[in-house]
Amino acid sequence: MSTPTLAIGQPTDRVDGRHKVTGGAHYSADVLLVGMAYAVLVGARVPSGRITAIDASEALQAEGVLSVLTHENLPKAAGQPPLIPSLAGMPAPGQTFFPLQDEVVHYTGQPVAVVVADTLERAQHAGALIRVSYEETPSVTTLDQGRDEAYEPEAIFAGFIPGRSERGDVESGLAQAEVRIDATYTYAANNHNPIEPSATTAAWDGDQLTLYDATQGVTATQLTVAALLGLTPSKVRVVSHYVGGSFGCKAMIWAHPALAALAARQVGRPVKLALNREQMFTSVGHREEQEQRITLGADKEGRLTALRHHKLSPTSHFDDWAEPSLGVAGQIYACPNYEGVYRLIRANTMTPTFMRAPGEASGMFALESTMDDLAHRLGIDPVELRLRNYSDTDPTTGNPWSSCGLKECYARGAERFGWHRRNPEPRSHRDGRWLIGYGMAAAGYPVYGPNNPQRARARLYSDGTAVVQAATPDFGTGVATVMTQVAADALGLPVERCRFEGGDTTLPTIAAAVGSSGAGMISAAVHTAATRLRDQLIALAVADTQSPLHGADPGTVVVRDGRMMLSADTGTGESYGDLLHRNFLPDVEAGGSWSPSAESTRYGMMTFGAQFAEVAVDPGLGIARVRRMVGAFAPGRVLNPKTARSQLMGGMLWGLGQALLEANYMDARRGRWVASSLGDYLVPVHADAPSVEVELVDVADEIVNPLGVKGVGEVGQVGAAAAIANAVHHATGRRFRKLPITLEDLL
């Protein structure tokens, strides 16, 4: 039987919007518990060395101070789980180093003490009274300092991604090329900076721990804290009802939730531990500084014969982490000869982490800038060059794409942007003193599936309303809204009669929503659960001698507006509510579970897109302004065009920030980040934001998940910085192989 799609595809307003704009939304740091105390972290002031002494006497005498925890008195962690990306549904510590275990300092900002007091201000004051003495040792904190000591790891991402990948023979591919380009791209480090800094409130009830945590995955927090504390996971409940943005910094689970739990156990009271803005630069990972080198060979028609892509980046002393920059860039074009290699530098920083469009945004900047260069050198239109290298299979496996739409993205994006107006000659468009440039780039982001079953539950009440539940928090993506829509269609109910509940480990398990996987995997679980519930209700009706549907073939029953009917035309049937009333059932419930199909491993799965940008450069003042951006994307089924557009638009604006603004630098003399506030770390504001247009290209995907959802969270950023840099080249004739491109560069 089929129910018509009514709610999916509608631009439904956010179900949590009103709460968010009226102050009704309670975030993790808003939690108030009886007898609650406040913890603050004290961070190391040196990047490398050891603590020789900690004098907490003054702090301990300060008013209201309950405890000072250091490596000298904190109970040791029970175990350190390995670093596994949170999507895997296992413990997911952001790094395999847990602080306050010994006197060694690995990076500036590493927690060296936790101060607990009866108010936040008293905790902060006492934190400032702690005297830590260090024996400092030489540090490496920048790529340049560590360049000569770089090593090739066997794998990055905890073994999920090999350090080296090859196909064909890149040397012979380069030898047969008629054009070769060898270019190196440099990138400043980036920090996430969601509006809500990370925070955890911990409360013990006997041996049962409850954490209110700002996280992308309550299960990831639960499993990680349980492993660190030596608890069985069911003894840890994690609640995360509202999360004020994340962009990846709340994907992995850092030290502070476990430290809050340890502090709460120590003082015998609930404890809140909220990071301040400065600590957000040293406590939740970052996008690493990096260098990428592309060596590309092509024939005279622009067809790639070889692609070599090497990345060099600093990681921590404990983990082989690099954001996976060599994925989409090695996959999006047909190129028989390929070599991708990661090289790492042990540095005195924390382990870097996911940051929006992790890896792909930086990798595609390098590739798509080089492709633009190739187009320019060969006198081929940049869109045409990409069409010539189009691949209808995943070149890494030879598997077909589960769905593609890339060619339509080029065509529709170019059309909407007005690409045909572009004179290919650099410096040929002007607007007064402004040099105008048009640039474009391809975009792609993988469709990741979870490693374990995703679960949801649906319950229909006798008043005809329904609730669907899954553990996932909504960290700003709109997942609560779209899951309400998914449930409404599966149950045949109007969206107003459905409600989504998430953000709690007492609900059915969902892996952390990372890597743009949320909408696909959660909709699969919710759809499965709600469909099973509907089928159960229909089965109940046809078995009920008092039902007008008694004896009907369940497969012929349709449901509209909460009414089960033999056919929508005659209306013969009854409402869910009548059925439940008559049977003395206050509610009926069903669970559902979903895992990616085995079949999906035989396909390449990616959300494709194309980015177009117009920039205006004032060469006298060094100012670059992005005037327009157009992005065309083919994300499979669009559950809600309003939230999808917002995600894609946000990603494109992130690309603008990446291209022109976002940067953090290490002061190598002190081993400290130069930017540690939103005043120093620039992100696009309204005045920077141009007209951003999003074109949604319809493609059906029957492989990825039941509803064919490929994800929109990150692809909007991929290629956006390259489109802007390519537009800067078109405007000025100058190619900048660095991010961000700043005023100093343009002068």
Does residue 248 touch ligand MOS according to CB under 6 A?
Answer: yes
Smallest separation, CB 611 to ligand MOS (Å): 18
Which range binds ligand MOS by CB under 6 A, 353-361, 402-410, 570-578, 684-692?
Answer: 353-361
Site for ligand MOS in 485-544 (CB under 6 A): 514-515
Give CA–CA dist 195/243, Å, rounded: 10
Does residue 356 touch ligand MOS according to CB under 6 A?
Answer: yes
Of 358 and 706, which CB lies nearer to ligand MOS in the complex structure? 358
Closest CA to 335 of 399, 294, 380, 389: 389
- Gyration radius (Cα) of the chain, Å: 27
Q: Applying CB under 6 A, what is the total number of residues that bind ligand MOS?
A: 10
Which residue is nearest to ligand MOS, using beta carbons? 248
Half-sphere exposure of 722 (CA within 13 A, CB side): 29
Of 220 and 468, which CB lies nearer to ligand MOS in the complex structure? 220
Binding residue for ligand MOS, selected from 111, 358, 450, 635, defined by CB under 6 A: 358
Does residue 562 touch ligand MOS according to CB under 6 A?
Answer: no
**729 sits in which H/E element:** helix 720-732
Binding residue for ligand MOS, selected from 251, 312, 328, 659, defined by CB under 6 A: 251
Of 380 and 521, which CB lies nearer to ligand MOS in the complex structure? 521
Give CA–CA dist 438/728, Å, rounded: 8
Residue 65: beta bridge partners? 117
Of 251 and 725, which CB lies nearer to ligand MOS in the complex structure? 251
Cα-based angle 581, 582, 586 (whole degrees, multiple of 5) = 35
Does residue 156 touch ligand MOS according to CB under 6 A?
Answer: no
Of 304 and 514, which CB lies nearer to ligand MOS in the complex structure? 514
User: In Å, how far are 362, 432, 589, 701 from 436, measured between CA atoms?
Assistant: 25, 10, 60, 39
Of 353 and 726, which CB lies nearer to ligand MOS in the complex structure? 353
Smallest separation, CB 216 to ligand MOS (Å): 6
Residue 410 token pair: 């080029």
Of 302 and 515, which CB lies nearer to ligand MOS in the complex structure? 515
Helix (H, G, I), strand (E, B) or coil at 344: strand
Closest CA to 646 of 5, 54, 165, 13: 13
What are the φ and ψ backbone dihedral angles of 632, each rounded to 5 degrees?
-115, 130
Of 67 and 353, which CB lies nearer to ligand MOS in the complex structure? 353
- One-character DSSP codes across 36-91: -EEEEEEE-SSSSEEEEEEE-HHHHHSTTEEEEE-TTTSPPPS-------GGGSS-
* Look-up of token digits 């994307």: 633
Closest CA to 676 of 334, 331, 278, 390: 278
Smallest separation, CB 355 to ligand MOS (Å): 5
Site for ligand MOS in 624-683 (CB under 6 A): none
Binding residue for ligand MOS, selected from 355, 510, 552, 721, defined by CB under 6 A: 355
Whether the Cβ atoms of residue 367 and residue 382 lie closer than 8 Å to each other: no
Smallest separation, CB 709 to ligand MOS (Å): 16
**267 sits in which H/E element:** helix 256-267
Chain centroid, CA 44 distance in Å: 28
Which range binds ligand MOS by CB under 6 A, 26-34, 222-230, 351-359, 669-677?
Answer: 351-359
Residue 557 token pair: 């029953």
Smallest separation, CB 437 to ligand MOS (Å): 29
Site for ligand MOS in 200-229 (CB under 6 A): 216
Smallest separation, CB 140 to ligand MOS (Å): 26
Annotation marks residue 714 as catalytic:
yes
Smallest separation, CB 635 to ligand MOS (Å): 15
Give CA–CA dist 234/237, Å, rounded: 7
Smallest separation, CB 185 to ligand MOS (Å): 20
Of 287 and 737, which CB lies nearer to ligand MOS in the complex structure? 287
Which range binds ligand MOS by CB under 6 A, 333-341, 354-362, 529-537, 584-592?
Answer: 354-362
Which range binds ligand MOS by CB under 6 A, 246-254, 528-536, 557-565, 731-739?
Answer: 246-254
Candidate list 574, 693, 714, 744, residue with the active-site label: 714
What are the φ and ψ backbone dihedral angles of 384, each rounded to 5 degrees?
-60, -40
Q: Kindly write out the interface string for residues 369-398 of this chain, putting x where it contacts ligand MOS by CB under 6 A and - elsewhere.
A: ------------------------------
Does residue 94 touch ligand MOS according to CB under 6 A?
Answer: no
Of 56 and 252, which CB lies nearer to ligand MOS in the complex structure? 252
Residue 294: beta bridge partners? 183, 309
Which range binds ligand MOS by CB under 6 A, 300-308, 352-360, 541-549, 593-601?
Answer: 352-360
Give CA–CA dist 299/178, Å, rounded: 5
Q: Write the DSSP symbol of residue 226.
A: H
Residue 491 token pair: 């149950």
* Look-up of token digits 């000025």: 732
Binding residue for ligand MOS, selected from 254, 354, 594, 612, defined by CB under 6 A: 354
Which are the contacts of 510, defined by CB distance < 8 A and separation ≥ 6?
A: 217, 219, 454, 455, 456, 470, 471, 472, 502, 521, 522, 525
* Strand order across the beta sheet in which 738-739 lies: 164-167, 338-346, 304-315, 290-298, 179-187, 738-739
Smallest separation, CB 279 to ligand MOS (Å): 19
Smallest separation, CB 712 to ligand MOS (Å): 12
Amino acid identity, residue 534? Answer: R
* Catalytic residue annotation: 714
Site for ligand MOS, rule CB under 6 A: 216, 247-248, 251, 354-356, 358, 514-515
